[in-house]
C-alpha cells in the first residue's frame, strides 16, 4: 500500500491545491503533503515491500503493477526529498496563480514516482507522460521570455522520444507469449538478435533524449535557462534520472544481447559527451547554463558507467543517481537565491559573494566540492566506482574520461571564483541574507552530501538487490 501512497498523496495534494487560491495556504499545503510523502519514503526504507497489483486496462491486458527494488527505492527517496526541498527553497519566489503552479508540480511528482515503480510497460509509459506533460505547462506559462519557442523544442524533442518508446513497447508486446505488458512477460519475450536491436534503439533514443546524452542534449540548456527555477530543479535533480532509470530497469534486462553489442560504442559516445560538455561548461557565463552543461557531463559519466556492464561501475551509478540529485539541487538553490535577489545569472556580473554573504558562499563552495567529486563528498564514492569500472573495461577509456576530473575542477572553480571571490560587484552588493528556509534546506542537503560521502554503506545496502538481479543471469 505504501507504494500507492506515493501516487495517491501527491495527486490528492495536487487536486486540493486547485481549490486553494491563497498563495500562503497553497504553499503550506504543498510543503505539508510533500513532507508526508517524504516521511512515507523514509518509512519505506525500513519496511518490507509488497508489490501492488490491480487490474487496470483488462482489454489491453495491462495491469496496474507497482514494484520497488533498490533502484526504485533510491529514486523514490530522491524524489521525496527533492520536492519539499524545492517547495521550501523557492517559497519566496513570486508566481501568478501559485496554486496551479504547485498543483502541476505535484502531478509531476506523482508521475515521477510512478515511473520509478511501474512494473507494467504501459503503466510506465503512462507515468512517463504524466511526469512530462505538467512540465510543458509549467515551462510555457511560467517560463522566461523565450519560453514558447524553447518549450516547443523541448516538447517536440522529448515527445518524439516518448513516441519511439511507445512504439517499442507495442512492438515488444506483440512478441510476448500472453500479449501482456507486464515486466515478466517482457523479460520472457522471445526476440531474435535483430528484434532486440530494434527494440533497443526505440527505447534507447527515448532515454537518451531524457538524460540527455550527447548529441541529444541541446534542448536541455535552453529549457533549464527558460524554465522557472523550481521546475529546472525538478528536471535536473530528478527528471533526468528517468532516462538512466529506464536503461537500468528496461533496456538492459529486456535487450541484453543488443546491450552487450553496443557497450563500446555507447561508452565512447558518453565519454565524448562528458568531455564535450565539460569544455563548454568552461566557457559558460550564464549560471543556469553552466549547471546544465556540468550536469550533462555528470550524467554522461553515469551512462558510460552503466554501459561498461561491470558490477562496480553500475554500483557507482546506482548511488550516483541519488548523489547527483542532491548536489545539483544544492547548486540550483544557490543559483536561484542569487538570481532572485540580483536579477542576474551572468557570472561576469557577480563576484564578492564571500564578502557580502559569507554563509551563502560557504554553502556554494560546499556544493562545488561535491560537483568536483572531492573525497568525502557523496559524489566521490560514485565517481570512484564508475571510473574503476571504466578502467576495467578499458584503461584508456578511464584515462580519457578521467580528463573530466581535471576539467570539472577548472569549470567549477572558475564559477566559484567569479561568484564568490574578488571584490563585491554592484549586483552582489544588493544582496540580503538568504531567506531562512532556503538556507536551512541547503544546510540539510550539505549535511547529507558529506554524511553519505563519509559513510555510503547504507546506500550500497539499499541498492544491493538491484545489482544482484542485474548480474544474476
Partner 1 sequence: MGIMKILIAFILLWPLAGFLFNGLGRNYWSKKVIAYKATGYIVASFIASIFAFMYVQDHGAVTVHYFDFINAASIKIPFDFKVDALSALFLLVITGVGSLIHLYSSAYMKEEAAPHYARYFSYLNLFIFSMLVLVLGDNYVVMFIGWEGVGLCSYLLIGYWFTNGNYNYAAKKAFIMNRIGDLGFLLAIFWIIVKLGSVNYSEVLTADSLAKLSSADITGITLLLFVGAMGKSAQIPLFTWLPDAMAGPTPVSALIHAATMVTAGIYMITRSNLLFSHSELTQHVIAIIGISTALLAATIAIKQNDIKKVLAYSTVSQLGYMFLGLGVGAYSGAVFHVITHAFFKALLFLGAGSVIHAMHHEQDIRKMGGLKSKLPITHITFLIGCIAIAGVPPFSGFFSKDEILAAAFAKSPIYWVLGVIGAAMTAFYMFRLYTTTFLGKFRGTADQENHLHESPLAMTLPLILLAIASALAGAIGIPEIMGGHHWLSHQLIPIVGEPIELGLSHSLEWTLIAVSVGIALVALLWAIAIYKKKTDEAPNTVVGNFFYHKWRIDELYNEAIVYPLNRFAGFLKNTIEKHVIDGAVNGAGKLIQYSARKVRLTQNGQVGYYILFMVTGIIVLFLLWFNDVPIFIFFNKLTQN
Within positions 51 to 110, which residues make up the interface with partner 1, using CB under 8 A?
60
Candidate ranges 13-21, 101-109, 180-188, 190-198; the one touching partner 1 (CB under 8 A): 190-198
Q: How many CA atoms lie within 13 A of 468 on its CB side?
A: 8
Which of 152, 346, 429, 469 contacts partner 1 by CB under 8 A? 152
Q: Is 63 helix (H, G, I), strand (E, B) or coil?
A: strand
Candidate ranges 47-55, 107-115, 166-174, 334-342; the one touching partner 1 (CB under 8 A): 166-174
CB 379 within 8 A of CB 371: yes
Cell numbers for 224, please give them: 533549464
Shortest CB 25 distance to partner 1, Å: 28
Q: Which of residues 123-142 bind partner 1 (CB under 8 A)?
A: 129, 133, 136-137, 140
Q: Which of residues 249-268 bind partner 1 (CB under 8 A)?
A: none
Q: Is 176 helix (H, G, I), strand (E, B) or coil?
A: coil
Q: Which of residues 334-353 bind partner 1 (CB under 8 A)?
A: 352
Which of 171, 253, 349, 448 contacts partner 1 by CB under 8 A? 171
Q: Which of residues 266-295 bind partner 1 (CB under 8 A)?
A: 276, 279-280, 282-284
Rank residues 93 and 198 by Cβ distance to partner 1 and give the closer one: 198
Burial class (CB in 10 A: 0-12, 13-18, 19+), 349: middle
For position 434 contacting partner 1 by CB under 8 A, the verdict is no
Rank residues 83 and 142 by Cβ distance to partner 1 and give the closer one: 142
Residue 416 CB contacts under 8 Å (≥ 6 apart), including other chains: 364, 365, 368
DSSP result, 6-24: HHHHHHHHHHHHTT---HH
Rank residues 52 and 157 by Cβ distance to partner 1 and give the closer one: 157
Site of grid cell 565519454 = 271
Q: Which of residues 392-411 bind partner 1 (CB under 8 A)?
A: 392, 395, 398-399, 402-403, 405-406, 409-410
- Alpha-carbon gap, residue 135 to 151, rounded angstroms: 9
For position 195 contacting partner 1 by CB under 8 A, the verdict is yes
- Alpha-carbon gap, residue 196 to 192, rounded angstroms: 6
CA 255 to each of CA 7, 181, 197, 251, 308: distance values in angstroms, whole numbers, following the listed order? 29, 16, 8, 6, 15
Residues near partner 1 (CB under 8 A), total: 77
Rank residues 68 and 415 by Cβ distance to partner 1 and give the closer one: 415
Shortest CB 222 distance to partner 1, Å: 8
Shortest CB 183 distance to partner 1, Å: 20
For position 447 contacting partner 1 by CB under 8 A, the verdict is no
CB 169 within 8 A of CB 181: yes
Shortest CB 22 distance to partner 1, Å: 27
Q: What count of other Cβ atoms lies within 10 Å of the Cβ of residue 2?
A: 16
187 membership: H or E segment, kind and range: helix 183-187
Rank residues 27 and 182 by Cβ distance to partner 1 and give the closer one: 182
Which of 354, 379, 428, 446 contacts partner 1 by CB under 8 A? 354
List, in sequence order, every residue forming a beta bridge with 182; answer none if it has no partner.
Answer: 120
Rank residues 260 and 454 by Cβ distance to partner 1 and give the closer one: 454
Tally of residues, the chain: 473
Site of grid cell 522471445 = 190
Q: Which of residues 204-233 bind partner 1 (CB under 8 A)?
A: 215, 218-219
Candidate ranges 27-35, 73-81, 298-306, 369-377; the one touching partner 1 (CB under 8 A): 369-377
Candidate ranges 39-47, 74-82, 189-197, 326-334; the one touching partner 1 (CB under 8 A): 189-197
CA 257 to each of CA 328, 335, 436: distance values in angstroms, whole numbers, following the listed order? 34, 43, 52
Candidate ranges 187-195, 258-266, 333-341, 432-440; the one touching partner 1 (CB under 8 A): 187-195
Shortest CB 28 distance to partner 1, Å: 30
Cell numbers for 250, please give them: 528496461
Nearest to 18 by CA among 97, 131, 99, 130: 99
Cell numbers for 259, please give them: 546491450
Candidate ranges 29-37, 100-108, 162-170, 242-250; the one touching partner 1 (CB under 8 A): 162-170
Amino acid at each position: 500500500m505504501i507504494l500507492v501512497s506515493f501516487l495517491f498523496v501527491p495527486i490528492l495534494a495536487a487536486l486540493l491545491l486547485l481549490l486553494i487560491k491563497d498563495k500562503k495556504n497553497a504553499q503550506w499545503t504543498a510543503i505539508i503533503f510533500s513532507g508526508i510523502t517524504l516521511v512515507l519514503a523514509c518509512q519505506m526504507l525500513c519496511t518490507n515491500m509488497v508489490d501492488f497489483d490491480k487490474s487496470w486496462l483488462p482489454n489491453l491486458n495491462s495491469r496496474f503493477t507497482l514494484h520497488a527494488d533498490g533502484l526504485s527505492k533510491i529514486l523514490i527517496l530522491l524524489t521525496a526529498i527533492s520536492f519539499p526541498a524545492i517547495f521550501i527553497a523557492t517559497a519566496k519566489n513570486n508566481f501568478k496563480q501559485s496554486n496551479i503552479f504547485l498543483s502541476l508540480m505535484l502531478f509531476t511528482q506523482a508521475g515521477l514516482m510512478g515511473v520509478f515503480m511501474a512494473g507494467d510497460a504501459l503503466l510506465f509509459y503512462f507515468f512517463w507522460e504524466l511526469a512530462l506533460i505538467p512540465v510543458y505547462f509549467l515551462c510555457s506559462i511560467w517560463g522566461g521570455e523565450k519560453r514558447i519557442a524553447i518549450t516547443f523544442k523541448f516538447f517536440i524533442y522529448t515527445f518524439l522520444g516518448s513516441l519511439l518508446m511507445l512504439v517499442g513497447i507495442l512492438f515488444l508486446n506483440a512478441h510476448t507469449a500472453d500479449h501482456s505488458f507486464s515486466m515478466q512477460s517482457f523479460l520472457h519475450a522471445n526476440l531474435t538478435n535483430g528484434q532486440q536491436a530494434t527494440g533497443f534503439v526505440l527505447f534507447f533514443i527515448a532515454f537518451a533524449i531524457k538524460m540527455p546524452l550527447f548529441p541529444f542534449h541541446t534542448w536541455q540548456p535552453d529549457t533549464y535557462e527558460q524554465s522557472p527555477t523550481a521546475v529546472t530543479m525538478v528536471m535536473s535533480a530528478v527528471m533526468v534520472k528517468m532516462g538512466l532509470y529506464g536503461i537500468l530497469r528496461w533496456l538492459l534486462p529486456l535487450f541484453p544481447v543488443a546491450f552487450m553489442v553496443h557497450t563500446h560504442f555507447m561508452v565512447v559516445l558518453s565519454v565524448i559527451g562528458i568531455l564535450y560538455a565539460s569544455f563548454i561548461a568552461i566557457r559558460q557565463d550564464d549560471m543556469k547554463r553552466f549547471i546544465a552543461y556540468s550536469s550533462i557531463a555528470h550524467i554522461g559519466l553515469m551512462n558510460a558507467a552503466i554501459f561498461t556492464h561491470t558490477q562496480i561501475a553500475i554500483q557507482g551509478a546506482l548511488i550516483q543517481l541519488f548523489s547527483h540529485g542532491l548536489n545539483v539541487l544544492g547548486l540550483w538553490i544557490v543559483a536561484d537565491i542569487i538570481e532572485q535577489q540580483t536579477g542576474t545569472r551572468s557570472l561576469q556580473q557577480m563576484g564578492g559573494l564571500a564578502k557580502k554573504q559569507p554563509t551563502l558562499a560557504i554553502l556554494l563552495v560546499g556544493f562545488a566540492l561535491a560537483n568536483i567529486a572531492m573525497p568525502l563528498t557523496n559524489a566521490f564514492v560514485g565517481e570512484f566506482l564508475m571510473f574503476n569500472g571504466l578502467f576495467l573495461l578499458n584503461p584508456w577509456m578511464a584515462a580519457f574520461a578521467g580528463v573530466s576530473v581535471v576539467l570539472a575542477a577548472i569549470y567549477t572553480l572558475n564559477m566559484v571564483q567569479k561568484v564568490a571571490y574578488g571584490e563585491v560587484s554592484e549586483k552582489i552588493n544588493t544582496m540580503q541574507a538568504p531567506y531562512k528556509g532556503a538556507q536551512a534546506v541547503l544546510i540539510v542537503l550539505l549535511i547529507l552530501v558529506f554524511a553519505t560521502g563519509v559513510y555510503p554503506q547504507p546506500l550500497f545496502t539499499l541498492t544491493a538487490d538491484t545489482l544482484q538481479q542485474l548480474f544474476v543471469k
